[in-house]
Every structure is written in structure tokens, then in C-alpha cells.
Amino acid sequence: MPTIGDIPIEVFLDNLLPWLPVQDLLNLGSTNRFFYKLTSDDTFWKRKIQQDYNFPESNTARTTGWKFIYQRVSKPKVYVWGEHSNRRLGMQPRELPNNLYGGVPFPIRLHIPGARIVSLVAGGMSFHAIDAQGRVYVWGALDGNGYALRADGYAEASKAAESPMRLDLPCAIRHISCGRLHSAGLDADARVWTFTSWGRPFRLRTPLLDRSSPDTTPVQVECGWGFTSILTQGSDVFVYWPNRGRMLEEIHRVNRELDNVGAATQAHVSPEQPNVIPCHVWDMENVEPVRLPAIPANLPRLTGTGLPADVLDGETKLIKIAGMDNFLVGLTNKGHVLQFGRLDGEESYGQGRWEYLPSYSEVDKVKEHDVFTSGQTSEQLKPPGKMHITHISAHFRTFTVYSTGPESVVLMCRMDTDAAGLPPSPLPPTIIPSLQYRDVISVVLGDYHYGALTAKGKLLTWGSFSKGALGLGDPVTIEPGQPGGFTTREQRLAVMDALGHLPVTPPDVREPTEVRFDHERKNKGKETYVFAAAAAGWHMGALVVDLERDDEDDERNRTQTMPGAFPDEPPLPEYRGPGQGPPIIPLGGHAGDKSSDQDIEGISSLNVNLGYLGTIPTNTRVI
């Protein structure tokens, strides 16, 4: 008679385990070694955290640790730091520490009751956050260059959200990207949203993106400094400019129509929901995005990537894009890095072209870099044996590309060029020795400060002080000469004696240094784990979970909530099926751990019935 041990691993991972409540999964994993390994499969937990928590995957190169994060993401903490103008830290000035620096030089916790934040994105003067239900929260100002009256609603782009406020959108949002003065998102149905003000977002409605085919189905939306770019399943790239040209004229026209309707369309916050921004949604139909040319067909065959021959021989496709100031960076499935320039407007994009960047794609080019050949460090840095670039990020005039795993390589480039000019070619990469082979899973970029997140949950920052954007601590409490501190004791004393001004700023930090999250805690030294980070402008943020019990949280939970605050945190996600109903059909794609005969014998001898396996539909047969 067939036993449970005869079921293929793929059936477990794709069809059985997704139906089980989390507690049943943990119980199953405790029965023997085989089920422990099976219920610890990273691909399975990655999919589960995306389904249950709306967890984004586009901004991380993480390949392991998904079960660990799932167990702790139910209570993530939001930390912010750096410049505080435009209320971009989401707090009142009286709530902030010493205002001497024009910002906060270390992480401070931002409370968003009732929200389980899983994604954090920084804009030019704001933050956007997405919770496990796909709801969007904002604080700061979308456009801090202008002014808004207290009587204005959030139809005004310069209206600041002084604390985290939820956008009252009609759908769940899966991904947000921010430019300098605008943001864009992708919802659960792959529709593209644009925010030039928080009170009047618009959907991009065009046959070019009607989701009727892979070529018209968006999979990624990325904002550059002043444009928005869209990547489709078919690897087409579309671009539009919401703050200039034909689209700006259309936005002005619609705004005039809405203004004529009266106060009902001004997105005023109601007394009943003081933390919710009403959104008057409209459709952008009269202006379409432009399609960029295809990537070159003659890209070289990359060696030393570790990819199998059938992949190298297959079609070369764009799989990721990243926007910066008038430039777009692209990445192919084989590891080619390209750039597209002249994206300052509709009138100039036609002069741009995709340019291949071999110094960021080919391992042999990287091996020739001075950091591997000239012995710049005390210990000669070993050149990479192989390299397959899998992730890119960009902001303002900096982009970075990196590979994954224990032998991860991080390459950066700072473009110093104006909108009309083109950067030199080839672009030489900057390689920071201490970032190599660190298992970096995410790199975030501000205007002049940068951060790298490792698979071990450590956030490293470097670059300019930028009013505290590095988050390394109050410079006057750091020993002179240490990262984040002043150069000399005299400089530190001068700042301590200053009255209302900063006579000198700390020097740039060249060596990536770990950020601590216990500056405001009574009990120092508690272990934390950072699973996401965000940077832009002169500010930064992170999503953090505690690895130890937080007594301060327990005390806070016992106190009464302030009037008008968000509701208490919702319960953990209720059980729901994966949407893949019976009959059970094995699906490919999992590597899976191969079980030994001993493991299979252990499974066969288990007295496990269908009731133990959880709520499987009654018309499902296990054979």
C-alpha cells in the first residue's frame, strides 16, 4: 500500500505544506530529520511570507533565512534617522533628541500602531511603508520644495504628513518606489499607480500595460530622480515623466477639474479618521509612456558566472531595472549590466541608448581592479573566482551592482555628470574591500550616504554625515577618530560648547560601520536583526526585529493607547489556502533536499493521517 513516503517532495512543497497552519508546520518539522529539512525549505518560506505578509522580494538578494524572518516578522520595528526637515522622520520636534545637527544621528523608533510594516522606502523628503495587508503609510512631504497651508488638504503635493498616515487606497499595494518629488507603485493586480500628491493618485491606463500578455504585464516599477520606469514580463521597458511635459500638463488639467468640484476633492483629513489620507483616484488615459529600445542583441557571452550552458545559450532578457538622475540601469538574466542615458524628458530620451558596462559584468575585468592587484589593504584581497551579478540599485547619481552568497561582490559607481552630459566610458567601479565576501543582500543609497545589509541582519553605513544620516551615534559621544565621530578632541569640544549651531561636521566615513539600534533603550546590547533598509536624500530607515524579549515593549503594551491612535496590532494572519486547489499536481522548480533511505523509512513508519496534515480539501486524494 502506498505510504506518505512515496509522495514526491515537490508535492509536499507546492501542494500540501501551503495548506497547513504554521503551528502544524512546526509540529510536522519536529517529527524527524526529513520533515525538519522539508519544513525548513527556504523557497517554501519565501513564498509563504509573501502570501501571508505581503512581503516584497524585489529589493533583497536574500536566498536563506526566510523561516527565521517569518517567525519574527509579526512584530517588526520601524527606525528612522537623519535630517528631520519636512517632518520626514514622522515625529514632532519636541519628540526628537538634540536639534544641534539638523537631524537625528542615531536610529529612533517610529511607532505605527496597528500596522505590521514589511516594506520601507525613502523618498526625497519622505518615507513610504507597506504593511502586511498591502496598506500604504506615508510621512514627511512628497514635495518639500513648496509650501502648504494648514487649511490645505493632501491634494497639495507640499502638504506634510507630520506623523505616519495611511493612504485610503482601494487596493493592496505590493511595491513602492520613490523619486525625488514623486512616487509610484504596483498593486496586487499589476496595475501601475503614480503619486504626485498623496490625495490624488492616478492609475496608468494604457493598452501598452493592459496585462493581456507578458509584453504588457508590469513586473517592476522603479522611479528615477524625475521619471518612472516600468519593466514588463516580456522585458520591455517603458518610461514616463509625471513632473514635466505632456503628462504634467494632463495632471494640471485634471487638478483644475477636481478643484472646481470643491472641498470634497481636496483630500482633507476627517476628525473621525485623523490618521487616514482620503485618496481621490483618477485614471491617466490621455498620455502614454514611451517604450525604450531593446537591449543590444550582440552582448558577449559571460564566463565565470557559474550558470549552466543552457541558460547561457538561451535568450538574454532584462530582469531588473534601477532609476537614478536621468539614467536607468538594467540587469539581464545572465549578469550583463547596462545603462540608458538621456532620460531627462520626452524630448531627449530618443537620443539615449543601452550601453553595456563590462567592468560591472565580467569577472575578468573585476579581477584587474586595483583593489585586487595593488595590495591596498593589509591583507591582499583575493579576487573573485566567479561572479554572477544578480541585483542592482540606484539613486541620484550613484548605482551599485552585486552578487549574492558568501562570496558576494559589491561594485559601486558615482556619476558626476549633468543632465545633458554623458558619463565617461568605461565607468570604473569603486570596490570597498570590507564589503566583499560579506553576504550582502541589499544596498541602499542616499544622496551622499550609503548602506549595506548583510544576510546576518547587520546594517553597515558609510559616506557623508549628512545631518546624521549614517546613524552611527551622536558625534560628541564617539571617540575622536572613530567612524561617525569628529577628527580631533578639539573639534568635539567645540561642538559641545556651541550654542544652537554646528561649527564643524564629522568627516566622511570611508569604512562601512555597523549601525546600533539600542541608543534609546534602557537595556543596552540587546541583539537585533535588520531585515530591510531604506535611504534617500539625507535620511535613512530600517525594519528591525528583536532577537531577545523586549521588556520596554511589554511595558508599552500595558499602557493605554493615546486617543485617535491606530487600532491595536491585528492578530497573526489567519490560515488561508494558497489558491492552488485540487487536484494535487506536482509542480517543478524546487531543488529540495534529497532524502536518504533512512529518512524515507522513518516517514513510512510514522502513524500520520490526513487529519494531522491539516485542512486538506475532502475531495483531494493522496496517492
The reported pTM is 0.82
pLDDT digits (tens, 9 = 90+) for 489-541: 998 888 877 766 677 889 999 999 999 999 877 667 778 889 899 999 999 99
d(CA 121, CA 42): 25
Q: What is the mean pLDDT of the chain?
A: 84
Strand-pairing partners, residue 552, are none
Residue 68 pLDDT > 80: no
pLDDT digits (tens, 9 = 90+) for 23-58: 788 788 888 888 888 888 888 888 877 677 656 665
Top mean-pLDDT range of 200-204, 559-563, 606-610, 611-615: 200-204
Residue 27 is part of which domain span?
A: 4-59+570-604
d(CA 310, CA 301): 12
Q: What is the pLDDT of residue 568?
A: 46
Mean pLDDT in residue range 219-235: 98
Backbone angles phi, psi at 183, to 5 degrees: -145, 165
Same domain, 304 and 364: yes
Total of domains in the chain: 2
Q: Which of 32, 75, 68 is CA-nearest to residue 48?
A: 68
Q: What is the pLDDT of residue 376?
A: 58
Q: What is the pLDDT of residue 2?
A: 72
Residue 251 pLDDT > 60: yes
pLDDT digits (tens, 9 = 90+) for 344-361: 999 999 999 999 999 999
Neighbours of 431 (CB within 10 A): 18
Residue 621 forms part of a structural domain: no
d(CA 75, CA 131): 11
Residue 619 forms part of a structural domain: no
Same domain, 210 and 357: yes
Kindly state the cell numbers that stand for 590: 524546487
Same domain, 42 and 123: no
Neighbours of 309 (CB within 10 A): 7
Neighbours of 265 (CB within 10 A): 19
Same domain, 312 and 407: yes
Same domain, 33 and 99: no
Same domain, 83 and 162: yes
CA dihedral 584, 585, 590, 594 (to 10 degrees): 70
Same domain, 116 and 243: yes
| Residue type for position 534 | A
Same domain, 465 and 418: yes
Out of 557, 588, 618, pick the residue that ends a domain: 557
> Looking at per-residue confidence, does 60 or 606 come out higher?
60
Residue 402 half-sphere exposure toward CB, CA atoms < 13 A:
32
Residue 34 forms part of a structural domain: yes
Residue 541 forms part of a structural domain: yes
Residue positions counted in the chain? 623
Neighbours of 215 (CB within 10 A): 13
d(CA 535, CA 368): 31
d(CA 333, CA 311): 9
Same domain, 40 and 127: no
Cβ neighbours for 208, distance < 8 A, ≥ 6 positions apart: 216, 238, 288, 289, 291
pLDDT digits (tens, 9 = 90+) for 158-190: 999 999 999 999 999 999 999 999 999 999 999
Neighbours of 608 (CB within 10 A): 15
Mean pLDDT in residue range 57-72: 67
CATH number at residue 37: 1.20.1280
Out of 530, 557, 584, pick the residue that ends a domain: 557
Residue 376 forms part of a structural domain: yes
Same domain, 531 and 588: no
| Residue type for position 56 | P
d(CA 222, CA 321): 7
Residue 576 pLDDT > 70: no
Same domain, 327 and 196: yes
Residue 66 forms part of a structural domain: no
Residue 563 forms part of a structural domain: no
Q: Which range, of 415-429, 471-485, 532-546, averages the lowest pLDDT?
A: 415-429
Q: What is the pLDDT of residue 486?
A: 92
Same domain, 12 and 96: no
d(CA 218, CA 73): 28
pLDDT digits (tens, 9 = 90+) for 189-221: 999 999 999 999 999 999 999 999 999 999 999
pLDDT digits (tens, 9 = 90+) for 89-119: 999 988 898 767 889 999 999 999 999 999 9
Share of the chain above pLDDT 70, in %: 81
Residue 312 forms part of a structural domain: yes
CATH number at residue 533: 2.130.10.30
